[in-house]
Amino acid sequence: MLTAPRKDYPLAPELQSKIDLVLESHDYDATQIVGILLDVQELEERHYVPEATAYYLAAKLNLPVTNIFDCLCFYAQLSDKPRAKYPIQVCNSPACRVNVIDTKRLLETLESLLDIKIGETTYDGRFTLETISCFGACDRAPAVRINGQVYDHLDSREKIEALLRSLP
Ligand code: FES
């Protein structure tokens, strides 16, 4: 169990500088911890907050490291474990669920093309399928969000396949 802040944070200097920039952009304000963690995890290709980074943030924000891990466990959009390179997020909020046939078809097509279910990751670590609440593309459904970018009007298998193929 991780309880006390450690004195050593073996972070590469380049990563440390990038984290410091994120902290600056949030005025080193510990009340913005969720936003800070969301920004920091995007510094990792696999979109997560490694343990060493959690300790570094705890020390910089003068927070118990357990607070950091509590956030990482509580918020579905945060992770302390490596995630897929491309987490595919599908909205499950009411406004999109009104369009239930398109949303259901989108999910089924993604599951079929990737051969995974919601919450799973492809064997090569490239894709995860997630459902989340509204990300502001209600008028462009069916849509997905991948690494902050919205891809909309995915109303055919061909468009969904083309999107997956277009990701490097
Ligand atoms: S309700 Fe689904 S993107 Fe807004």
| Pocket flag, ligand 1, residue 150 (CB < 6 Å) | no
In this structure, the answer to whether residues 96 and 122 fall within a common structural domain is: yes
Greatest Cα pair distance, the chain, in angstroms, is: 53
In this structure, the answer to whether residues 70 and 90 fall within a common structural domain is: no
Q: How far is the CA of 51 from the centre of ligand 1 (A)?
A: 33
In this structure, the answer to whether residues 59 and 103 fall within a common structural domain is: no
**How far is 68 from 3, CA to CA, in rounded Å?**
11
For the cut 60, the answer to whether the pLDDT of residue 5 exceeds it is no
| Pocket flag, ligand 1, residue 91 (CB < 6 Å) | yes
Percent of the chain residues past pLDDT 90, beyond the cut? 58
In this structure, the answer to whether residues 112 and 46 fall within a common structural domain is: no
| Pocket flag, ligand 1, residue 59 (CB < 6 Å) | no
- For residue range 39-80, what is the model confidence (pLDDT) as tens digits? 999 999 888 999 999 999 999 999 999 999 999 999 877 889
In this structure, the answer to whether residues 67 and 93 fall within a common structural domain is: no
Q: What element of type H or E holds 89?
A: strand 86-91
| Pocket flag, ligand 1, residue 137 (CB < 6 Å) | yes
- For residue range 101-138, what is the model confidence (pLDDT) as tens digits? 677 888 999 999 999 999 889 999 999 998 888 888 88
Domain that holds residue 36: 13-74
Atom number of ligand 1 nearest to Cα 92: 2
59 lies in some domain: yes
